[in-house]
Amino acid sequence: MKKDTREILLDAAVIVFSKNPGAPISEVADFAGVGRATLYRHFPSRDDLIRELILESYQQMNDALTPVLAQNLSGTDLFLSILEATIPLGDRYYFLMLERTFEEDPEIQALYQKDAHDWVELFENLKAEGVLAPEVPTAWAVSAVEALIYSAWSSVHEGYIARRDAHHLVYRTLLSGLGPKDN
């Protein structure tokens, strides 16, 4: 299915802004292969583009996770499935971690709070199930997995690792580190 111009612009924007949050809007137009006038027809200002990208990114994350959560998995299976669904959206996830322009926007703040709450709840459940050590601060575990999601996406995108291996590598790195499996 062919993407429309709006989707092309949002895809370009997430790549540009995840690498350089302060990038001028002209870089987005250039990366998308369109003129600035085309970009401004769809998004009258940089703020309009960023706000729409935030909303669209949260929607994509929600769309990816809804079927995973509907499976009623627990423990390792749930965590691996969440990673598998989230890593392909690593650029959007990283953008959401960096972008704080609309912190006062009630709609975006509600999405941010729900996302933060969901990660904390997941990690607390993983601790209760014995997947994660109870003494590891939840905030640290969330920060670590957020960074690993982006690292995995970037590594897949650059061709360093296979997409099918990414979620297992994140899981292993988070739970076992980088040492040999026997240790």
- One-character DSSP codes across 42-72: H-SSHHHHHHHHHHHHHHHHHHHHHHHHHT-
Say if residues 143 and 150 touch (Cβ distance below 8 Å). no
The model's pTM:
0.84
Q: Is the dihedral of CA 152, 153, 158, 163 positive or negative?
A: positive
> Going by C-beta distance under 8 Å and a sequence separation of 6 or more, which residues neighbour residue 112?
96, 103
Tell me: the pLDDT tens digits for 129-159? 999 999 999 999 999 998 999 899 989 988 9
| Structure tokens, 63 | 């769309």
Confidence of residue 52 (pLDDT cuts 50, 70, 90): very high
Better-predicted residue by pLDDT, 80 or 179: 80
Q: What is the CATH number of domain 54-176?
A: 1.10.357
Pick the CATH number of 1-44 from 2.102.10.10, 3.40.50.300, 3.40.30.10, 1.10.10.60: 1.10.10.60
Q: Is the pLDDT of residue 181 over 90?
A: no
Q: In whole angstroms, give the CA distance from residue 169 to residue 149.
A: 10
Same CATH topology for 1-44 and 54-176: the answer is no
Confidence of residue 183 (pLDDT cuts 50, 70, 90): low
- Would you list the domain boundaries of the chain? 1-44, 54-176
